[in-house]
Amino acid sequence: MKYILIIHEVEDYGKWKPAYDAHKTKREQASLKELYIWRNQDKPNEISVLFEAADLDKANQFRQSDELKQAMKAAGVQGTPKIKLLDKL
């Protein structure tokens, strides 16, 4: 199984979270299963999300899509997210 960790700054968590939740079906269609959402204690607008990816090709297509970029912008994501592809050891 592959994992994807996304770390990004958001303008406002209260704005980001409902927009993120509304996009759940699209993530599921891309074979992404949310495992954890973390909020940085020192930087409360820094959000990290860990996903399990059943199909890495689908997940990569989704994360590179214009639709996702537009949704993230509308949700208040700032800057370029850090995306890490991980293997469980």
Residue indicated by tokens 């996009």? 23
State both tokens at 46. 């820094």
Determine the longest span between alpha carbons in the chain, in angstroms: 36
CATH class name, domain 2-87 = alpha beta
What is the structure's pLDDT at 1? 83
pLDDT digits (tens, 9 = 90+) for 4-41: 999 999 999 999 999 999 999 999 999 999 999 999 99
Report how far residue 84's alpha carbon sits from residue 40's, in angstroms, rounded to the nearest whole number.
17
Q: Which residues contact 5 (CB under 8 A, 6 or more apart)?
A: 48, 49, 50, 51, 82, 83, 84, 86
Q: Where are the domains of the chain?
A: 2-87
pTM of the predicted structure, to 2 decimals: 0.90
What is the structure's pLDDT at 82? 96
